[in-house]
């Protein structure tokens, strides 16, 4: 939001100097991207700031009814609005990662699994069908992703999958055997502290792409477009004693 505001102000300044609309767009794009880089935002946010001015320009230059634009804007807002205060962009887990996570979930005993920021819950639906012995919970604060996930759960009839409209910082991690996080670099140190304090013995933390500040027990390189890595941390609660 800050990046776009500064970029927009730069575009106005360029226009006041008599330059063309094309140069105004270029100034907006460059300054917004530069600010996002200086703020050390994650790559998805930098890309978002780079493309947003161009997308707005395209939408406003095409004869699209205002009502359609308004609906699109509301839908986008309902997906991305939590990003403005969490600094965690909506970025779904790749389907290739599903199988890697599945391979780490035992199929011979009852367990509980928590997904922090589950989005549209696509991975959880896959896991819940493959591991009926595990109870899955996804927590999400994006209004639209949560609503669609909640409806999908009701329609699917899966008994071992639930979704909750809740900030994961308010969830008691001691209730779960496994926790999965695909967030952003910013919150990872605080997440690790919460895991050390609350996760029970013998529990496991799975982290997609953005590791916590501690040695991991295993890592899996996933052959997807982003070349993501799954980091596995066993017994996070014991790290309290290893790393006081």
pLDDT in tens, the chain (244 residues): 555 556 556 656 656 666 666 566 676 677 777 776 665 655 556 666 677 766 666 655 555 555 655 665 655 655 555 555 555 566 789 999 999 999 999 999 999 999 999 988 999 999 999 999 999 999 998 888 888 899 999 999 999 999 999 999 999 999 999 999 999 888 999 999 999 999 999 999 999 999 999 999 999 999 988 899 999 999 998 875 444 4
Look at residue 136 and give its three-state secondary structure. Answer: strand
Range of the domain at 20: 2-63
Contact 201, 175 (CB under 8 A): no
Same domain, 216 and 166: yes
Residue 128, in any domain of the structure? yes
Q: Are residues 58 and 120 in the same domain?
A: no
14, HSE (Cβ side, Cα atoms, 13 Å): 19
Question: For residues 122 and 95, what is the distance between their CA atoms, to the nearest angstrom?
Answer: 9
For β-strands 229-234 and 218-221, DSSP reports them as antiparallel
Spell out the residues 6+ positions from residue 154 whose beta carbon is closer than 8 angstroms to its own. none
Last residue of a domain, one of 39, 63, 87: 63
pTM: 0.70
Helix (H) or strand (E) holding 164, with range, is strand 161-165
Q: Does any domain span residue 226? A: yes
Q: Would the CA dihedral through 44, 45, 46, 48 be positive or negative? A: positive
Using alpha carbons, select from 224, 239, 237 the residue that is nearest to residue 101: 224
């Amino acid at each position: 939001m800050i990046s776009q505001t500064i970029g927009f102000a730069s575009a106005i300044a360029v226009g006041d100097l008599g330059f063309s609309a094309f140069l105004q767009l270029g100034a907006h794009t460059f300054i917004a991207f530069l600010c996002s880089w200086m703020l050390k935002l994650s790559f998805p946010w930098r890309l978002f700031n780079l493309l947003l001015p161009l997308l707005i320009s395209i939408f406003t230059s095409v004869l699209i009814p205002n009502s359609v634009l308004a609906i699109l804007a509301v839908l986008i807002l309902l997906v991305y609005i939590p990003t403005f205060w969490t600094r965690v962009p909506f970025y779904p887990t790749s389907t290739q990662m599903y199988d890697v996570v599945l391979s780490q979930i035992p199929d011979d005993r009852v367990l509980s699994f928590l997904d922090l920021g589950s989005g549209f819950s696509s991975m959880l639906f896959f896991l819940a069908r493959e591991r009926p012995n595990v109870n899955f919970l996804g927590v999400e604060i994006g209004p639209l992703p949560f609503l669609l996930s909640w409806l999908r759960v009701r329609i699917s009839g899966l008994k071992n999958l639930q979704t909750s409209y809740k900030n994961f910082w308010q969830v008691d991690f001691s209730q779960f055997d496994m926790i999965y996080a695909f967030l952003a670099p910013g919150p990872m140190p605080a997440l690790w502290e919460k895991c050390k304090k609350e996760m029970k013995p013998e529990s496991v933390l799975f982290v997609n792409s953005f590791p916590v500040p501690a040695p991991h027990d295993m890592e899996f390189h996933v052959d997807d477009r982003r070349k993501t890595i799954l980091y596995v941390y066993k017994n996070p609660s014991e790290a309290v004693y290893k790393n006081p």
